Amino acid sequence: MQNVQRNCPLCGQCDQSSLYAESTLDRKQLTEFSFASRKDPEYMNHRLMLCARCDMLYVSEIAGVSDLSSEYDSAAYDSQVESVYAASTYMRLLLPMFDRLPDRVGALDIGTGDGAFLVELLERGKLTDVVGLEPSTAPIRSADARVQGLIRQAMFVEGLYPSETFSLVTCFQTIEHVDDPAGLCSESLRILKPGGALAIIGHNRRGFLNRILGRKSPIFDIEHLQLFSPESLRRLMQNAGFHSVSVKSFWNTYPVSYWARLFPFPRPIKKAVIGLLRVTGLGRIPLPFPVGNLVAVGHRES
């Protein structure tokens, strides 16, 4: 166990940073679901600083952490239905840009979870040589048989793949979780073929709903080591050397019961609402909602 100090993960400095929120972490409240990707919000966060230079909100101190990869290794997993919805939404967003890729050979999905997006890449995207990385055991175990063998249990680190291996690298709902998002981007650039693309999907802390919910937004979470805005996400990719970077917000589609879980109802009310949705079957209805997510795409120079 040790305390880890961090500077702004974009500019690497802290001179322009000011305190945004003190830590509300209560170790006693952590559960095996704390490091799962789609879970009930816990309303806990580490100490947060805001870098005025980069518009970057980041965790400046993590108290009493043993090792991130071991936390994720044993994280519980219960979100297979949602992962299929998410993968379908992401493919709809990205498919129009596939014609710009150098070819359809080689795609890496970082933090692939149960590999739902790998299924999309193979079936709707018509890509070959598709692989995924995922640090947690549980989602890999529940992966679709078509892609389970394509998922490697590992964090994305330097040197895993040779240069110019992939046409597409994707990183969905993961960039907030990694200790070095700038390093993730520069390593992605290295393993992309000329003209290849990196697509990142993450939370928009300046999104309408997140601004309304404030600190009650589920984006304030101990798993998130930084939170991006359109400005800081664009900078992240441009600083790493990506060209023609585009950043857009989009609407997510999930079943009603999923939205109900995220909504900041008081606990007994939430239980009643979710029970009612289950009994009536209304919980299964897909509902698009502007929850405040961003998709950023950047290309390696061809």
d(CA 96, CA 65): 41
Helices (DSSP H) in the chain: which residue ranges? 68-73, 80-94, 116-123, 137-141, 181-191, 208-213, 230-239, 256-262, 267-280
**Cβ proximity to Zn ion, 60 vs 136, nearer residue:** 60
Find the shortest distance in angstroms from Cβ 272 to Zn ion. 44
**Cβ proximity to Zn ion, 53 vs 270, nearer residue:** 53
**Cβ proximity to Zn ion, 10 vs 118, nearer residue:** 10
- By the 8 A CB rule, do 114 and 77 touch? yes
**Cβ proximity to Zn ion, 83 vs 232, nearer residue:** 232
Radius of gyration of the chain (CA): 19
**Cβ proximity to Zn ion, 58 vs 258, nearer residue:** 58
d(CA 234, CA 202): 12
**Cβ proximity to Zn ion, 54 vs 94, nearer residue:** 54
Find the shortest distance in angstroms from Cβ 245 to Zn ion. 18
d(CA 130, CA 110): 11
Find the shortest distance in angstroms from Cβ 296 to Zn ion. 17
Dihedral sign (CA 186, 192, 195, 198) = negative
Find the shortest distance in angstroms from Cβ 236 to Zn ion. 10
Find the shortest distance in angstroms from Cβ 59 to Zn ion. 13
Question: Residue numbers of the site for Zn ion (CB under 5 A)?
Answer: 8, 10-11, 51, 53-54
Find the shortest distance in angstroms from Cβ 180 to Zn ion. 14
Q: In which element (H, E) is residue 79 found?
A: none
Those residues whose C-beta lies under 8 Å from the C-beta of residue 40, and which sit 6 or more positions away, are 33, 261, 262
- By the 8 A CB rule, do 156 and 133 touch? yes
